[in-house]
Structure formats: C-alpha cells, structure tokens
Structure 1
C-alpha cells in the first residue's frame, strides 16, 4: 500500500479536485478483459455503507465555506441514515427547525441519480463544483466552515489574518488533525504522502500554512506537496492585486520551509495556444486545465508498482526535484496533444497507438537554457505550450531585467497517451556549466503511460484539434515539473512588489525568507543578473 491523503482547502481547490476525482473514478474497470494500470488503493479507501455494502470513497478531506458545497450533502446514498433528529435529542422540549431554502440540484446531478443520459454542461449551468461531481464521499470528508460565507460582500475570506484566526479557533475547539486528518492516516497501511490543493493568494493561504505546521508536528518526515492555486489579477484594482500578491509572498515564505514541494499554478496572462479555448471567468473551465495538468504530472504516483520503470512516489520525486535541499518551489507546464486517428474502445486504451506518418508530438527539448559556450547555446529542456507557473511574476520588478538564461536543476517530464516514436534528442545534449565552470547536466526524468487523459461528460470542451473542432475523445498530454533558476526572478520581483504592503512587524521576516528562497536557486549556478533592490 502507498496511500496518498488529499486535503482540499477552499472553493478554487474544490473545483480542481472535483475534476481530479472524476478522472480517478473513470479509471475503474468492470470488464475482466481490461485491467486498469492505476492502483485505486492509492487514492480510494474501502468501507461499508449503512446497509453493509462495500464502498470505495476518496481519501480526502474537503473544506469549504458556508454555501460552498452547493447541493452536496454530508450524507449520501451510501451513508444516508434516516432517523428522527428530535427523538435522538437530549432536549425534552419542542424543537423548532429553521431551514434555508434548499438549492435545487443541477440537471446533470439529477441525471446521475436517475441513470438517464446526462445533459451537456455549460458555464451557465455549473454554479458550484458539486454540480459536476461524479463521486460519492465519506461523511468524514465533508467539513463545512460556517464562520465565513462564500462570496460574502460583507466579509470576504481574502485577508491573511482571517485564515490564521479561523484555523487557530477551529484547532483549539476541535483539534483539526485529530478530528479530520488522523482517521484517514490511521487506516492507511503505508502512506506515501499528503497532497494539498489550496489557494495561495487569499485567506486559504494562511489556513494552509497553519495546517501544514501542525502536519509537520505530527508527521515530520511525511512528504507534503501543495498545489497553490491563484486567481487572475489582470484588471483588478491595485489594492486587490497587491493583497493577492502579498498573500502569495507570505505563503511562499512560510511554506518553503514546511512543504516538501510547492507548485504554484496560475493562468498565464498571455494568449493561450489555438488548441485551448476556455472562458477565463469560469472556475469550471480554469480548474479543468489545472486539473488535467496536476492529474497528468502525478500519474506515476498511482500507477501499479508492476510497472517498475514508470511507477514512483511523492518522496522519491521530491528528492529528484530538490537537488540541493533548498529548492522546494517547482514550475509546472503542459501541452495537450491532439488524438492521432485513434478510436475509443471504452477502457482508456487507444488502438492504433503509433503516430500517423509524418506526425509527432512537440519536442521536449529545444535551444532554451544553459550557459553560453564557444559553440553557442547548448541544447536543454524546452518549455511546453502552456506555462502555468505564474510567468506574469517576471513583470513585477521593472528595475530588474529578466535573466535570458534559465538553468534547470531537475525536471520530471511526463507523457501520457498512445505510444510514440522517439522524437526528442538524447539527454546527453542538455549539458551546461555552473559558476565554477564544471560541466553540469540537468537531471531529466521521463515518465510515460499509455493511459490517456479521459474526456468525461463532466469536463468542459476546452480542447480543439487542428480543424478547430471540439475534442471529446481521450487525449495525450505532456507535462513538465521542474526546479530552475526562473524562481529567482519571480521571487525577487514578488518581494520588490509587495514588501511595503506587508505589515511592519512581518516585513523583515517575509523579506528575508523570500531572499533565502532566491539564494537556494543560485547554489552551483550563477545567472549573472541583478538580484534586485533590497527594501
């Protein structure tokens, strides 16, 4: 057993996680002739429903604000217990029940309940993440926080101190780890780690930092990966933009010493490639792209261990990416690959797996990074089509020129989909030099799987083929997770942009932490650029 426990913190995260769980549910096979390459025990836990039937539910704890769950109930068809609440109460008097107007379930959810054909979802019909959810959760997984209300105009959950105070109050009253996390940990045979999806530009950022502090107290050596989700800042008033950036700066400063790996995700402000069409104002759309990237780049952590070459775990991958022990922030990128004359046979196994003549996937390599030498630029890992690692942060410090060279310390590349002819150059071409002039080769690790990304009816039609038609069949996806020197420019710019907006008592600590993060990406390498002004 190598279980992963998931924590979902907030509305942004729950949108992403819902796509993630829908994909995991689609990998279950019920035909003896088709065996899934995914080890379902990694993310799902066995149990018993109220009628004694066996259940299989996600190993996850879902936190959201009042009103954030939509129509999702704590008790569902697997665990619904019909009883008279008044009869079981210790209060001898007459009970008066006050109920809010219930939210009507979406037509999609009704179709799942009745077994009828599902209607097509749209940005207009998806009101909550539960509207496109296809999975049953254990009642212990659902944790509603009533102290704040979703989208409140009176007290929105966006300031740093709100998350800190909320966690402190809840933990003092309940001991959140004992109540919510520990039951899932104790039933795991050999936990490989904890993955956390959380906003890092709102109050959930501080809630997450306090949560991880407690996790470290209890489970000191457990790998903890956090996928830090960010909302768009383009077009926001300056005050709102600064608040989001300050939250992110504080989150990175505190999480860098607590989390094993931090993967920030944000939609790029640049135009997306022509094969991706999404509504940037739709959480359903944006979270779909995030989820496809996260789910694909972590696929190797849940593949069956019989595939020894491409099966791994969070701890091992942390060690591969964090070369010098101080590089805990990783950049993530992705490229969707158009299906190549393939047909869907119902088991996520594509026929005709080899590329058609003359066709190939985008190269992982190109002339992008590494030091200049007598022969010019050496070859190195190239960026993929969509950079989700907050590339707009390069623009935050106008006083500093962005480094032209990007040195990659370590990179994990994944390709999922039909088998392909090798179209990349060998890893030996990716040689560069550190500050001492010693030859240093970026450590590049390739993981592949024939398991394509499932295009479910709960997933928005955001991908297009070369004819601009909607892609509805399983897709191949390339991803990259890398630790590289671009973090120096991003963190330095972030520090310069927000340091004066942080309270005086915290300014020095946050500034020093961000400077330390940047220093951790200079070890063994000199970019030759200006590190920016100190404030």
Structure 2
C-alpha cells in the first residue's frame, strides 16, 4: 500500500475533492465481498471522542475562506464536542450557521435523497458524504466567501456584505486575487490562523506520520485567484522539509482566459512558481458548451459555470487517472503514472487532458484556451501545424474491449506515428456515480481518461514571455522571461524557431 495525501485549496478545488471522496465511498462493501479498491490509500483509521467509536477519515487537507464551509461543522460528534474545547467557566459565542441542505439532512436521516442541481449545490458541503477529521479543515479567516457575490473571495470589511449579498460600495472591494495577495496571505495565515506555526509542521506532518509507505500528493488548486500563489508557498515548504523528491501531481483549475493584465500576470507568476515544484502540472479548463454537447450528449444541459458541475466533470479525469494507485490487484504507483504521462522526460506540463465516455473525446486542457483579449495580446502565436504529442498515457475503465475504448479516445496511432510515446492501463472497475454526481454519461459506460504533453505548451509559454516582456516592469521581469524560455525549450519539436509567430 502506498498512501496518497490530498491537498485542496479554494472552494473550486474543494468541490472537486468532495466529488472525489463521494466517489470513494461507492467502493465500500458491506457484506463478505472484498472491494477491488484498497481504501487505506485514501483513508486512515482512528477513534472518536468516546475512545470506542471507530472512524475512517480522508487523508486530506482542505483550505477555504471564511464562510466557504457552508453548513459544515469543523467539530463533529465523531471527534470532539464544542464543550470539550471550551474552558471551564467560559461563555461560548458562535455565529449563526447556514442551514444544512435538504440533501445533507436526508443523508443524516438515512432518507431518500433529493435530486441535485447547480442552484442546490452552491457550497461543496451541500452534498458532502464523508466526515473530515477536524485537523483536515483549515480556514483563512481574513477573507469572506460567498458563492454568488464573492466566488473568488473578498477581504473582510472591504465594501460589501457578502453574506447578505447586498449591493454596496464596490470601488474599495478587495478581492482574493493577485500573486502578491496569495503570498502575503500565506504568510499571514501561518502567523494568525494557525497560531504562528507552519501548516506543514502541524497538519501535513501528522498526515504523513499516519502513512506506512507514502506514495505521493494530489494537489487541487484554483490557479487564477490568490489561491495559486498560496498553494505555491505551501508546496515550497513541503519540498524543503518533507517531500524533496516525492511525487506531487498538481491539478490546476484554470479560468478560460484572464480578465485583465493583473490577472494574467498573477497566472504567469503562479505557474512559474508551481512548475518546478510539481512532478506534473495538469491544467483543467472548462470546455465550451458546444464541445461538451458534442462529446457527452447526456451532459448537454450542464451549466459548467457551477463549481458543482465543473467539479464533477474534472473529477471524472482525476478519479480515473489515479484509480490504479488504489487497486488491490494490478496496482500502479503514482510515480509510474506520472512518469508515463511525462514520457520519462523533463516535460512536466500535461497540457493534453482528454475524457472519453461518449460520442467523441472531450478536451479539458490548454487546448480549450481561447485567444487572449486584445489588450493582453502581443502579436499572435499559433502552432505551425497540429501540435506534436510527445507522450500520452491513459486509464481505461471497461468491462470488456478495453483496447477498443483506448483506440477510440486515446489516439495512440497518431501519437506513435509522430514519434511520441503512448500507453494505457485498463481495469474492469467502472466509474462510480454517487447520487451527488452530475449526470455526465449513463452508468456502466466505459470511460477513458488520458493525459499527455504536446508542443502547444511551448506556444503558450512563449505567449506568456511576450506578455511579460511588454507589460511587466518589476524587478522580476527578466527572471520571469528566462524561466519561461527555459521551460519552453523542453517542448520544441522539429523546426520551431519562429515558425509559430504570426504577428497581427
């Protein structure tokens, strides 16, 4: 067994993580049959506050802003009671909590579960099936979250009542965006919210000590907010103190395109910090409605602006690609999967993200990025031809005919004929569809997920370099340009010098 620790930063990422752990619950068996999945990879055993009740908690750390947990209580009956944490003679004062959703109430009462939709799942706690250990839930208290008025978060007292959603003065509204904001808030979080101690030391270390054979880290993060820089600081600490050579897969939830120069700069600076620390970086970008409709007809009406819907779609890739790490038979380590995705090379950005479960493969990586808005564009950069695929590795879930599924969605022939590496592993364990999951495809549908690295990375990185060269005037300008050029050089293929330049 090689245990994997999950790190989830932001409400967007926590929606994905909730779908992930709800799916894991579907593998549990309650009779004499043995599950094909080794649950200890994702969960650890313990005892409740009474010293007798056995608990089984996710190996996970989740960060969110104040208000982001919705109705979820950090202290549950399984672990500790509020009275146990209140000093004798002290009066306990609590803010009113949001009411639990109808779905959660039905779960608690073991009643029939109501159907879910985007408007009923504004918080990830509205449909969460599992109990997280209190030490897994970390709150950044200087910022408020509201799924409608502040989906990225705003500073407390910065001009708008996000709880009530009241229209207020927004000219001084400080949003949880920007690279510098993320770095500063990480440092502040260590000093205030975590009592002056490092989260890596007080929380991650305890998770690590519960592992017999540590197998790596899955990190999900909203890259296009201050969470991206916050996560980069967390990962830097982990690399320095605990996992200098361990496998770290970073799943970056990216917006379709930046809104302005400040956001694009923050995106670039975050990627530059994350890329050298991640063993593999996987960008997850929402597809356009037409692409979703063509690839997954059953999901045609899904509103991907909803974190619940987008999280379910992205989880189909994350849960499928990491399934072999949890199998009792035919186990495949996270190290091996990442090495195959990267083609055993220094190309650590898996820009090609494919989900196949319907009429056509669905692209969820950088292929979804549209042109930058005019004010951000510095000329045009286009690949001279179809991007070259350096490597592609997938996981096929099918009861039979796994090779046919792979050939349909994995496009191995085109990859290999172009000189790239391609391969897959297969399993008969089908994709779990808990009642909390949005409808993507019919149950028991064969599913294929594949990650790969292509020459499109070079085009995107050079576009970032051009932006930095023209618009960035800080002391970091030349360093950013050099770092982007160095990484881009790994993705050159054939005669590419200048061939992807197309000036306006």
TM-score (norm 1): 0.80
Deviation at 1:232, TM superposition (A): 4.0
- Asked whether the equivalents of residues 382 and 500 of structure 2 are also in contact (C-alpha less than 8 Å), the reply is no
Q: Counterpart of 1:266?
A: 285
Aligned CA distance change for structure 1 residues 315 and 105 (closer, same or farther; 3 Å): same
- Asked whether the equivalents of residues 268 and 391 of structure 1 are also in contact (C-alpha less than 8 Å), the reply is no
Select which of 174, 180, 201 maps to 2:197: 174
Q: Counterpart of 1:197?
A: 220
2:338, 2:432 → 1: CA distance?
27
2:86, 2:414 → 1: CA distance?
73
Aligned CA distance change for structure 1 residues 244 and 288 (closer, same or farther; 3 Å): farther
SS of alignment partner, residue 290 of structure 2: coil
SS of alignment partner, residue 381 of structure 2: coil
2:211, 2:402 → 1: CA distance?
39
Confirm whether residue 132 of structure 1 aligns to residue 127 of structure 2: yes
SS of alignment partner, residue 298 of structure 1: helix
Q: Counterpart of 1:295?
A: 319
1:73-92 residue pairs with structure 2 within 5 A?
Answer: 73-81=73-81, 83=83, 87-88=87-88
Q: Counterpart of 1:244?
A: 263
1:58, 1:455 → 2: CA distance?
19
SS of alignment partner, residue 271 of structure 1: helix
2:271, 2:82 → 1: CA distance?
46
1:458-507 deviation digits (Å, cap 9, x = unpaired): 112244xxxxxxx3x24321111111212111222233345544452222
Confirm whether residue 37 of structure 1 aligns to residue 36 of structure 2: yes
Q: Counterpart of 2:28?
A: 28
The runs of 5 or more residues in structure 2 that have no matched partner are 155-159, 161-172
Select which of 454, 461, 477 maps to 2:439: 461
Q: Counterpart of 1:493?
A: 463
SS of alignment partner, residue 80 of structure 1: coil
Aligned CA distance change for structure 1 residues 418 and 117 (closer, same or farther; 3 Å): same
1:137, 1:512 → 2: CA distance?
42
Deviation at 1:5, TM superposition (A): 0.6
Confirm whether residue 399 of structure 1 aligns to residue 423 of structure 2: no
Deviation at 1:297, TM superposition (A): 1.4
1:52-71 residue pairs with structure 2 within 5 A?
Answer: 52-71=52-71
Q: Counterpart of 2:233?
A: 210
1:475-494 residue pairs with structure 2 within 5 A?
Answer: 475-494=445-464
1:246-275 deviation digits (Å, cap 9, x = unpaired): 222112212221111100111134622431
- Asked whether the equivalents of residues 221 and 252 of structure 2 are also in contact (C-alpha less than 8 Å), the reply is yes
Aligned CA distance change for structure 1 residues 385 and 498 (closer, same or farther; 3 Å): farther
1:264-313 deviation digits (Å, cap 9, x = unpaired): 11113462243132102211111110111111111112112x32xxx211
Aligned CA distance change for structure 1 residues 8 and 335 (closer, same or farther; 3 Å): closer
2:403, 2:343 → 1: CA distance?
27
2:40, 2:274 → 1: CA distance?
28
1:414, 1:421 → 2: CA distance?
10
Deviation at 1:69, TM superposition (A): 0.4
SS of alignment partner, residue 71 of structure 2: coil
Deviation at 1:518, TM superposition (A): 0.8
- Asked whether the equivalents of residues 393 and 452 of structure 2 are also in contact (C-alpha less than 8 Å), the reply is yes
Q: Counterpart of 2:207?
A: 184
Aligned CA distance change for structure 1 residues 331 and 301 (closer, same or farther; 3 Å): farther
1:158, 1:229 → 2: CA distance?
14
1:93-108 residue pairs with structure 2 within 5 A?
Answer: 95=90, 97-108=92-103
RMSD after superposition: 2.5
Confirm whether residue 113 of structure 1 aligns to residue 108 of structure 2: yes
1:141, 1:82 → 2: CA distance?
17
Aligned CA distance change for structure 1 residues 533 and 210 (closer, same or farther; 3 Å): farther
Aligned CA distance change for structure 1 residues 288 and 167 (closer, same or farther; 3 Å): same
Structure of higher CA gyration radius: 1
Deviation at 1:385, TM superposition (A): 2.0
1:171, 1:232 → 2: CA distance?
31
Q: How many residues align?
A: 459
Deviation at 1:128, TM superposition (A): 0.4
Q: Counterpart of 1:351?
A: none
Q: Which has the higher helix share?
A: 2
Aligned CA distance change for structure 1 residues 197 and 114 (closer, same or farther; 3 Å): same
The runs of 5 or more residues in structure 1 that have no matched partner are 90-94, 339-361, 363-383, 434-440, 464-470
